[in-house]
Structure 1
C-alpha cells in the first residue's frame, strides 16, 4: 500500500470543536446541549494507547468512553462523572492506495479531514451524514447513514478492516473474516467494545466536486413515496418536510436528489468555514410562528415545482456546516432530536400519524428530514437503519412540553414496529431500547468491562 506523502503526517485543525471541552472543564455537553454532565476529559494522543490511559487513571474510576467531536445529539457521547477519552489527536493518515481508493487512517481523523485529502485525489466518502465534523471512529461506532442508504447501505459496509484495543491490552484486527464477531459488535456498538485505533475506508471515485441536483416540491406522504419509488436509480435522495402546516399544506416538502456529475471538473479541498453563530439565541426565537414562517419561505423559495442545477457538494451534503456552532440558535436549553425508522409495513400510516401528532403539539420542528431506507444489510449487530421510512426532527427544549411530546412519539414509533436512533437520542427508555434492539443481550459478550456511556446506563437498567 502506498503511504500518503511518503510518511504519516499531522492533518488539519478541528474548527467545530469546543476548546473548553478539550481541556477538562466541566460540564461536557453533546451537540444537542442536553444533558450536560461533568466528566474528566483525557486527550488520547496518537502515540498513546487505551491500556496505558487506563493504568494512568487508576482503572478508570466511574468508567471510560472514547469520544470524537461530540456531535451526537444526546448522551451516547457522555459519561456522567466518568472519563472521556478524546480521540481527535489521533488524526494521522497511515496509508493510501490510489488504485483501490482504500484509505487507512487513525480513528480520530474527521470526515472533513478525509475529504480534504481525498477529494483532490478524485475520491469521495462512500457514505456521509449531514455533517462532516464527525470522526472516523465515531462514524463506525454509530454506523452512520446518509442520503444514499438505499444503494450504499451504512458506513460500516465500506469499512473492510479496523483495529480494536481492549482495556486489558488485547489488540484485535477486525474484519468480515478475522474476528468477525468483534467486527459486527463494534460497527454500531456505540464505542463500548473497546477503542478503535485505526480503520480502512473504501472511498468512492469522483471526477468533480459537483452534484447533478434536482429539487421537486411535493404535497403529502403519498407524493413523497411516489417520488421515492421513481428515484431508486438516483444515488442520493432526501426530503425536507414541513411539520408545522396542516390542511392542504400538511406534510408538504421538497424532495432533493442528485448524483455525482460525470463531467470532469474542479477537485480541490473546501475552504474552512468562516461564519460562526454569534450568540446564544433567546429561547423565544424558535417558536411555532417563526418556524411556520421559515417553512413557508423555504418551500416557496423554489419558484417551480421541479428545478435542476449543478451544485457543489458542500451545500448539497453539509448545508449546516457553513455556520459553526449553529446549535446556539436553540439557546442554552438546547435541542432534542427525534429520529425513527419504521418498516415499510407500517411506514406510511406511522409517518402520517407522527406528523399529525407533531402538528397538533404546536412544537414545530425547525429541521425536519424525511427519507427512505433501503434493504442493503449492515454488518453491525446493533445498527439502526432498516428498510422503511426514517424521519428526523429537531425541537427546542420547552419545559413541560418537549419531553411529554417525545415520550408520545417514541411510544407511537414502537407501536408501528419502529425504533429510535441512539446517536440522536436523549429520552429513550430502557423498555423502548430493549424492545427495539433485542440483540443488546448478545452484545453484552463483547462490551468492554471498563467502558460505558450515560446512554448505555440509561437504556440497560431495569425499570
Structure 2
C-alpha cells in the first residue's frame, strides 16, 4: 500500500466496524461521516483505513413524549430532523449542518447556537481493544470523545435530547450595522428570545466602515404567530426543499450589504430556507473558483474584541474576495477537551485557496489567536502548526495521556493526529 492510498470501508453492522478496526494496518483507522471531500484532515488517513459510517444509519428509538432519540452514528442530522420535526422536536445545533452525521457532530464538537454535545445523554464507543463502551457525560472518556475528532474510538450510537418547537418556521429580523463596533454591540445585546444570531461581514469595506455587516437574528416561530392565509402555513411542520438560493447569497459582500434592509423584523422563513441557502456542492464550488477555498474558523473569549478588530482589519486590507465571513457570539462551550468553542466570539472565513501568500498570512493569524487565548477549530483544519496546539488547547496534554492509555498502539489515527502529535 502506497503512502497516499486509503482503504475506505463502509460497515453495515457494528460487528463489521469492529472487524475493520482490528484488521487495520500500521497507519490505523479513523471514522468519518457525510458526503464529499473532508474540509480538514481530521477525517483523512493517508496510507491507512477510513471507515465510512453512513451505512450505520438506523434510528432505533424515538420518544416523542420526552424528546429523546437513540440512533446509530451514521444517521445524518438532515434525516433525523425530517423524522422528529413533524413530532414537534428539532435536532439541537443541527439545522446548519444537515449532511453531518450524528457521530461526526459529536466528534467535531459541533457548535451552532449552542453545543451539540451538551445534548448527548449517552453514547456507545468502539475502542481500540475491540470493546464497546457505554460512555456518559461528566466522564473523562466522554470529554475526550466530544470534539475528539474520532481519535478515542468509533462512535456507534448516541442518545440525544431534542429541542421542542411548535412549527418548522423561524421569525427573522435583518438589519445593517455600520461598523464592527456596532456589530459587536448588537450581537452582545441579543437576548435569549433570539436563538440564532449572526453577522455577515463585508470585508470589502475599509476605513470607518471596516467590519460593517448584515445582522440576522431569528427564533422559532410559535404556532400562534403563523398566519392562516397561505396554504403552506396551515401545515406548521411541513418539510420543504430549500429550493433556489436567495440572490443575496450569490452576490459580492459589498452589494449584499447595500441591498440589505436597514431594519426588517417579523419575516417568516422555513427552517430549510434560512439555514441552507447554498444547498448544492456544485453551486458552492462555483462561488470559490477552480482552486477552491480554505475555511478558517477561530474562537476567542469575551474581552478580546480589540483582537477581533485587528484580524478583521488585516483580512480586509488583503482585499480577499471572500463570500463567507460570519461572526457569531458564543455562550457556554461544549465539554470536550479539544472543543474549538469558547465563551465569547467565533469568526469563520472562506478564503480563496489560490490567494498569494495565504499560508504565511494564516500562520500569522494563528499566532495572534493563540496570544489572545483563542482557538483555531480543529475539525476543519489542515495546516495549524503543532507548537501552537498547547497554547490554544490547555487540555491537549490530558488528551494525549488518555489516548496513550486507551490506545497505546495508535489504532485510531488521522493526518491531523500525526501532524499535531495527538
* C-alpha separation in 2, matches of 1:77 and 1:382: 15
Matches within 5 A, 1:19-418: 38-55=5-22, 57=23, 59-69=24-34, 72-128=38-94, 130-146=96-112, 148-149=113-114, 154-176=115-137, 180-233=139-192, 234-263=194-223, 265-271=235-241, 294-321=252-279, 326-346=284-304, 348-374=305-331, 376-398=332-354, 400-418=356-374
> What's the CA shift for 1:407?
1.3
Q: Tell me, what secondary structure is at the counterpart of 1:353?
A: helix
- C-alpha RMSD over aligned residues: 2.5
* C-alpha separation in 2, matches of 1:192 and 1:115: 27
* C-alpha separation in 1, matches of 2:256 and 2:185: 22
> What's the CA shift for 1:322?
5.3
- Stretches of structure 2 lacking an aligned partner (at least 5 in a row): 225-234
* C-alpha separation in 1, matches of 2:50 and 2:242: 27
TM-score, normalisation: structure 1: 0.81
2:169 and 2:271 in contact (8 A); partners too: yes
Q: Tell me, what secondary structure is at the counterpart of 2:267?
A: strand
Question: More deviation in 265-274 or 390-399?
Answer: 265-274
* C-alpha separation in 2, matches of 1:113 and 1:422: 26
2:180 and 2:213 in contact (8 A); partners too: no
1:31 is aligned to: none
- Stretches of structure 1 lacking an aligned partner (at least 5 in a row): 1-25, 28-36, 276-290
1:370 and 1:392 in contact (8 A); partners too: yes
> What's the CA shift for 1:373?
0.8
1:414 and 1:436 in contact (8 A); partners too: yes
List structure 1 segments (4+ residues) > 6 angstroms apart after TM superposition.
Answer: 272-275
Task: Summarize deviations over 1:383-436 as a string: whole Å, max 9, x none.
Answer: 111111111000111164221221121112122221100112122100111211
TM-score, normalisation: structure 2: 0.89
Q: Tell me, what secondary structure is at the counterpart of 2:314?
A: helix
Task: Summarize deviations over 1:178-215 as a string: whole Å, max 9, x none.
Answer: xx221111111111100000101111111111101001
Cα distance change, pair 436–189 in 1 and its aligned pair in 2 (3 A): same
Cα distance change, pair 84–115 in 1 and its aligned pair in 2 (3 A): same
Cα distance change, pair 400–111 in 1 and its aligned pair in 2 (3 A): same
Task: Summarize deviations over 1:128-166 as a string: whole Å, max 9, x none.
Answer: 3633110000000011011x23xxxx1100000010011
Q: Tell me, what secondary structure is at the counterpart of 2:96?
A: coil
* C-alpha separation in 1, matches of 2:333 and 2:296: 23
* C-alpha separation in 2, matches of 1:325 and 1:445: 43
* C-alpha separation in 2, matches of 1:293 and 1:51: 48
Q: Tell me, what secondary structure is at the counterpart of 1:201?
A: strand
1:61 and 1:83 in contact (8 A); partners too: no
> What's the CA shift for 1:112?
0.6
1:215 and 1:308 in contact (8 A); partners too: no
Cα distance change, pair 66–274 in 1 and its aligned pair in 2 (3 A): farther
> What's the CA shift for 1:251?
0.8
2:242 and 2:276 in contact (8 A); partners too: no
**Number of positions where the alignment pairs a residue of Structure 1 with one of Structure 2:** 402
> What's the CA shift for 1:312?
0.8
Q: Tell me, what secondary structure is at the counterpart of 2:51?
A: strand
2:242 and 2:273 in contact (8 A); partners too: no
Task: Summarize deviations over 1:24-78 as a string: whole Å, max 9, x none.
Answer: xx99xxxxxxxxx5411111223534331134x3x43311100111565211111
Question: More deviation in 321-330 or 216-225?
Answer: 321-330
2:333 and 2:339 in contact (8 A); partners too: no
* C-alpha separation in 1, matches of 2:284 and 2:6: 24
1:334 and 1:396 in contact (8 A); partners too: yes
